[in-house]
Amino acid sequence: MNNVIDFINTNRDRYVGELKEYLAIPSISALPQHSGDVRRCAEWTAEEMRRVGLQNVRLIETPGNPVVYGDWLGAPGAPTILFYGHYDVQPVDPVDLWESPPFEATIRDGEIYARGAADDKGQVFMHFKALEAHLKQNGRLPVNIKIMLEGEEEVGSAHLDDFVRRHKNELAADVVVISDSPMFERGIPSICYGLRGLVYFQIDLRGTKTDLHSGSFGGAVANPAFVLAQVLAQMKDRGGRVKIPGFYDDVKPLSEQERAEFKRLPFNETKYKKDLGAPRLFGETGYSTLERVWGRPTFEVNGLLSGFTGEGAKTVIPAVAMAKVSMRLVPNQDPDRIARLFEEHVKKAAPKTVEVKVTRMHGGKPWMTEFDNPFVQAAGRAIQKGFGQRPVFTREGGSIPVVSTFQEELSLPSVLFGVGLPDENAHAPNEKLDLGNFHNGIIASAYLYEEIASA
């Protein structure tokens, strides 16, 4: 193993140069004008997988963006890892808030800034380099590995469940490994054992067939912008509790043991608030911040659009109003059931004075695993070796929809070992990855394969 670690230490600078190349491809899955870049990124990913020594590397077409697949299966009798990640990234707007261009990776204060640096290209690349070190130094890996990278994670993985079902046999493995989440805190690596689920909607209201002069018509018709505000106000109360009837029916309560464990984590609420620039924190009454984000569901407004929003004033009653909203879910809430309850609640909340259209968009199921499984323990040892520090166990508020699919369709446990940071600015301007964590992450990944081999 020493020769593998030496190789990683010697090649440290080369890795950063290569990562910059990867981060230069604007693989934004949400924007149709970037579909060529998404494909180019899939091809670059495949080329890189071939360069590091993986076999059977190919793009597998789906009705959407291709899955990049590759494997190395030369360790008969050893466990097989299914590695999952994504090569697509989020849009970059508001682009003028970036301090350096999002697709020209720039290093400042030991962090590499670019869209995808943390979510998820940088973390995928870390595993490529760990695999390369093993393969270049020893000509073999201690485990078998199947790598499956998708290009639609940031838009809800619409075609992935079907892909997993169709390729059940090819994807057979013993454990899933994913690095697509932040660590608990700078200097405190973590293993994540739970993710929230998601249901996402667009609500469209129409009041009249066209915009109206607010003097001639104000008072005679409903204003869809105002009605939208009233509808949204009926989704959550002032105590942060979702008001959709039945919403909490299937929520698995946080156990006293889990609450005690969360409390033991070195979470600094004052710093958290300051880092976010929030005048005050807000969430469901009766729960701590970590409990709210990790273990409780929520309703959020993701975007609002209506009427005149330019400079100056315009006296108008908008014809339409639109909101994007979503709910983060926890075990054992079912996205389909929650979607039904939400639609019913919107229909009841909206008056007859407007036409209402509710469109369901993407989503995914919540996920949670037991962390006494031997692979999680193996990951803990690997992280300790890579970071010189034992990991803490965390849940996360974000979603990776395919994780529950791996559980349900392939009966596979997942180990989520992420090296991002809470202030990595994922989905926001100035996304970044700490290069020290990137390097330690490569070492930890290299150990992970060895530890899993002996788990």
Distance separating alpha carbons of residues 301 and 323, to the nearest angstrom? 7
Least distance to Zn ion, CB of residue 443, Å:
22
Residue of the chain from 28, 46, 198, 378 that contacts ligand BES (CB under 6 A)? 198
249 noted as active-site residue: no
Instruction: Residue 394: count other Cβ atoms within 10 Å of its Cβ.
Output: 23
Kindly state the DSSP code that residue 76 receives in the 8-state scheme.
T
Stretch that binds Zn ion, among 17-25, 115-123, 160-168, 210-218 (CB under 5 A): 115-123
Residue of the chain from 53, 151, 335, 364 that contacts ligand BES (CB under 6 A)? 364
* Residue 264 buriedness (CB in 10 A; 0-12 / 13-18 / 19+): exposed
Nearer to ligand BES, 129 or 365 (CB): 365
Distance separating alpha carbons of residues 31 and 123, to the nearest angstrom? 23
Nearer to ligand BES, 28 or 354 (CB): 28
Beta bridge partners of 58: 69
Q: Which two tokens stand for residue 337?
A: 């059931």
Within residues 141-200, the interface with Zn ion by CB under 5 A covers 180
181 counts as binding ligand BES under rule CB under 6 A? yes
Q: Which of 71, 119, 152, 153 is catalytic?
A: 153
Distance separating alpha carbons of residues 104 and 115, to the nearest angstrom? 9
CA distances from 193 to 400, 403, 419 (A): 12, 11, 15
Residue of the chain from 48, 71, 111, 120 that contacts Zn ion (CB under 5 A)? 120
Q: Mask 232-271, x = binds ligand BES (CB under 6 A)?
A: ----------------------------------------
Stretch that binds Zn ion, among 117-125, 199-207, 259-267, 380-388 (CB under 5 A): 117-125
399 counts as binding ligand BES under rule CB under 6 A? yes
Q: Mask 145-164, x = binds ligand BES (CB under 6 A)?
A: --------xx-x--------
- Among candidate residues 83, 61, 80, 89, the one with its CA nearest the CA of residue 70: 83
85 counts as binding ligand BES under rule CB under 6 A? no
Q: Which two tokens stand for residue 256?
A: 């006293």
- Among candidate residues 455, 380, 446, the one with its CA nearest the CA of residue 2: 446
The H-or-E segment that residue 191 falls in is: strand 190-195
Nearer to Zn ion, 141 or 400 (CB): 400
Q: Which of 88, 111, 150, 154 is catalytic?
A: 88
88 noted as active-site residue: yes
* Residue 445 buriedness (CB in 10 A; 0-12 / 13-18 / 19+): buried
Q: Which residues are catalytic?
A: 88, 153
Q: Note the residues at the interface with ligand BES (CB under 6 A).
A: 119-120, 153-154, 156, 180-182, 198, 362, 364, 396, 398-401
